[in-house]
Amino acid sequence: MSAHVVLLVGLDRAFEETEPSIASELERAGYEVIEAHNLSTASALLFVHRRVEAVVIDAASDQIAAELAKTVSAIRPGLPLLTAAGTEAHAPADGQAGHRAAVVISTLDGLTGQRDARQMLAA
């Protein structure tokens, strides 16, 4: 079974270097993660990688997230968009980044049926 493909876009800050990062948590959950660090790259990747099933936006600014959402909707209407960003520019030490990743993974699992596949493999 091939992995579900997710485009992870972090625009106005570097991807977090702390563990667990959202990208590593998504990969650990069985998703193939393609990363983009700017709007131009994200747009190009959506054209090239037709297997992308959802976009996860990790941008601290609501304005940037809204701009990206508008662009994604224009390129791939109906493609699910999830926001992973918290209000802080850096992941807090209390595990909030891990919690954000868990929420994103849970939502993606529901959208893609990934959780059902994982439960069947565990049985």
Q: pLDDT per residue over 23-44, tens digit each?
A: 888 998 899 999 998 889 999 9
Q: pLDDT per residue over 57-77, tens digit each?
A: 887 677 878 888 899 899 999
pTM recorded for the entire structure:
0.74
Pairing of strands 32-36, 5-9: parallel
Residue in 67, 27, 25, 33 with CA at minimum distance from that of residue 53: 33
- Structural domains of the chain, ranges and CATH numbers in brackets: 5-122 (3.40.50.2300)
The mean per-residue pLDDT over the stretch 84-112 comes to 64
The tokens describing 15, both together, are 């991807």
Q: How confident is the model at residue 85 (pLDDT cuts 50, 70, 90)?
A: low
Residue in 75, 4, 80 with CA at minimum distance from that of residue 39: 75
